[in-house]
Homo-oligomer: A and B are copies of this chain.
Amino acid sequence: MMDWLNNQIEVPSESFYRLALTKQQQLTKPPGSLGELEGIAIRLAAMQQTTAPTIERIWVSIFAADHGVAEENVSAFPQIVTTEMVKNFVNDGAAVNVLSRYVHAQFEVIDVGLLKPVTLKKLITDRAGDGTANFSKQAAMTEQQLKQALLAGKAAVERAIMQKTQLFIGGEMGIANTTSATAIACAITGLSVEQLTGAGTGLGSKEIQHKSQVIYNALSLHQQQLRSPLKVLQSLGGFEIAALVGAYIFAAQQGITILIDGFISTVAALLAIEINPQVQLWYFFAHQSQEKGHQLVLEYLQAKPLLSLNMRLGEGSGAVIALPLLQMACKLHNEMATFEQAKITTN
């Protein structure tokens, strides 16, 4: 039932990669002087199989779900805030709304498992359950729920494809989801709970210690189950994290560029790599967040994020903030004069 996750992911075009690399050497600048922007343009050319890559049609899907583990007091905000923020998203009031407008991205919000369903204009309902179970006591979700949540991510990308999207950004909202993501990161990377557990939306040091303990106990409880990335996800995950995993894998299968946001999204990106490694060929990592575990997981992935602005908001915001860099990289690649056109001496 989850076989689609293993469907083949193509390698971006090597021939367009080489063409773009050559083009960069011909543009009127010292070779390499545009730094990371050169590599961005080259990779996008290879992904889009074109000599003139563009990032014009951008899609932002925000997956929202509740977490049973919130009852362990692991977040600075009460659980009801997940639903309240969903309302804020559909009313265009959140950071990611403002940013999506700025970059002219198409924007949608999906309820993949709030505690209780809400009826809101513009809210997409694709629920895997009434929040996850408290993973400090039992598996976060059933296999059926996992399958459902992964498909919710796939469905979002299907909608994006209908609009000819060139770049997919996934965001998340779910009170207590740094607890879930941290537990997953520990299970996959083998890094310690102490190393990876951070402040989330704003815990103090005592509260972080409590959060660590909850994660530590949960990892012990589920130890026997953590034998595969999908089992890790089922045991410790959130529905929104599973949706991101499904979205990333399906986007890569469809040849769509993926821009990864912060800690939660990076953990979903990590799980997706564990399931289908070639997915990473379609990733850009947008930023390094202030959340403690993010830097370590990025290092584990040997990922170099584009920005480091001490953000820690999630909801896709850091990814949208990095988006203009990709657009500018494309414009430079396509619109700069070559040495020959500009008649510039290069001896």
A residues engaging B (CB < 8 A)?
A: 27-37, 76-78, 80-81, 84-85, 87-88, 91, 93-95, 97-99, 101-102, 201-202, 290, 306-313, 317, 321, 324-325, 327-328, 331-332, 335-337, 341-347
Contacts and interface: CB of A to CB of B under 8 A. Distances in A.
A84 B29 CA distance: 12
A316 to B, nearest CB: 13
A191 to B, nearest CB: 24
Given A78-B347, A81-B344, A309 B102 contact: no
Contact of A335 (B98, B308, B317, B325): B98
Given A98-B331, A328-B321, A335-B98, A33 B313 contact: yes
A239 B320 CA distance: 39
A85 B28 contact: yes
A102 B341 CA distance: 21
Contacts of A88: 28, 337, 342, 344
Contacts of A36: 309-311
Contacts of A325: 309, 321
Contacts of A102: 324, 327-328, 331
A83 to B, nearest CB: 10
Contacts of A341: 93
A176 to B, nearest CB: 13
A78 B344 CA distance: 10
B332 A95 contact: yes
Contacts of A101: 331, 335
Contact of A34 (B31, B85, B308, B311): B311
A98 B338 CA distance: 13
Nearest to A98: B335
A93 B342 contact: yes
A285 B88 CA distance: 33
A306 B309 contact: yes
A142 to B, nearest CB: 30
Contacts of A33: 201-202, 311-313
